[in-house]
Structure 1
């Protein structure tokens, strides 16, 4: 495709906005519900750490400022979502979560910056070992993205529905991958290594959305049937209790035993209770 810097930057900005804003619905959903049930903590942790190899690759490869910034923002928001998983579902303290965030962010910045400064000079000199190392980081990012979503697939299989995950988050994430691919396409020479990572995210996100469209209606029908069955059991239990109480009340009605020598017509009839 012919190089078009304006289109590459425009699609890159849109992709970055998608991958920046995508986690906000998920973070807000977890905060509002005070729960991250159904959201894989491994998913958001691995996605957060993907920012390291993807940031290294995009920075050294020179894929544009937008695609360099995008993994950093994406990684930070993913790690925040991971901290929510620790706080809401694993009952970690606020202090524990704050220390964990600080340590992870420090390692994130230090590791990425150190590798970039170490790898860029030999890569610019055209050394083969540096080129192989750069390809390794691209493949590593793709593998981490795939593994993260596989863990979410396990959560979907376990619940037989897509729960705990904001579908808006998944959809925007998918579109972020599409626009990042388009940004690469308009840079003149498509970078297949970076493209694999973005395309993999797009396809695997689409699988989650398709699973939600198929499994979530089934889960709602199962829930309604269960609620109807519970209501019928409660109704039957109440009716049985009422019948038992009525029978006991009838069994306690007072009777008067007629005295000897009393005619049948003179017998005192019992009054109703």
Structure 2
């Protein structure tokens, strides 16, 4: 049964989640100064998918939120992709990083403007299949982008490492809410398939972590926390020792200078 209000509310909520879902991951990367476990290919494919998504939603005269969403999505994906190239384990030189990201943004803007000005008049005249192809390409890139994390999970024997679960939860919530909005509103098979694939792959990532945790991952996490705490305490003790040694050296030098026998 069609429900326009529910469709708009759920669709808007899903769009909001898909606009800001990567912010927790970006903050997570920045705090750790390390992107191990977060594949650069994932973030690049997602940033790449934002280009045809933008062409599709602008070219089909979508609503304002639908036009804004791929722009923000591409922006945050590009920032996260830049982090995966800058932080370990990749650690590209800054000039190469700027060259890669700058080239991508120039090409992205060129493709968006070119295809929108070319295909929007075609769509408005009733020929819809070119835009449908663009939408399918965007959906495929987004779905393929969720495959590299499974290789990282396989390398770590089921453990999800480097991916922020708050980000993953927001992304899954966005897919779920958008899918429900289609069910209660106007049915769009292509969008439905996209949201279902994204939700399925992300639920698989959650499931891998749960299985790993129950199969002994809890002990691994406890051990890592203990090692980090021990390393932190050792570092603090080392700093105190260095400071103490410097003070001792300074006191000895001061005594020598004030000694009557000092020349």
- TM-score interval w.r.t. the shorter chain? 0.7 to 0.9
Task: Note if contact 1:171-1:209 (Cα within 8 Å) is conserved in structure 2.
Answer: no
Instruction: Provide TM-score, normalisation by structure 1.
Output: 0.74
In our comparison, the structure showing a higher alpha carbon Rg is 1
Which residues in structure 2 correspond to 1:28-177 (within 5 Å)? 28-89=27-88, 90-127=90-127, 131-160=128-157, 161-177=159-175
Instruction: Provide TM-score, normalisation by structure 2.
Output: 0.77
Task: Note if contact 1:138-1:197 (Cα within 8 Å) is conserved in structure 2.
Answer: no
Per-residue displacement from partner, 1:119-173 (whole Å, max 9, x unpaired)? 111222123xxx2222212221222122111111111111120001001111110
Q: 1:226 to 1:176 in 2, by over 3 A?
A: closer
For residues 223 and 94 of structure 2, the distance between their equivalents in structure 1, rounded to whole angstroms, comes to 40
Q: 1:3 to 1:118 in 2, by over 3 A?
A: farther
For residues 8 and 225 of structure 2, the distance between their equivalents in structure 1, rounded to whole angstroms, comes to 52
For residues 12 and 98 of structure 2, the distance between their equivalents in structure 1, rounded to whole angstroms, comes to 31
Which 5+ residue runs of structure 1 have no aligned equivalent?
A: 229-273
Which 5+ residue runs of structure 2 have no aligned equivalent?
A: 227-263
Q: How many residues align?
A: 223
Q: CA deviation at 1:79?
A: 1.1
Q: CA deviation at 1:57?
A: 1.9
Give the structure 1 partner of residue 11 of structure 2: 12
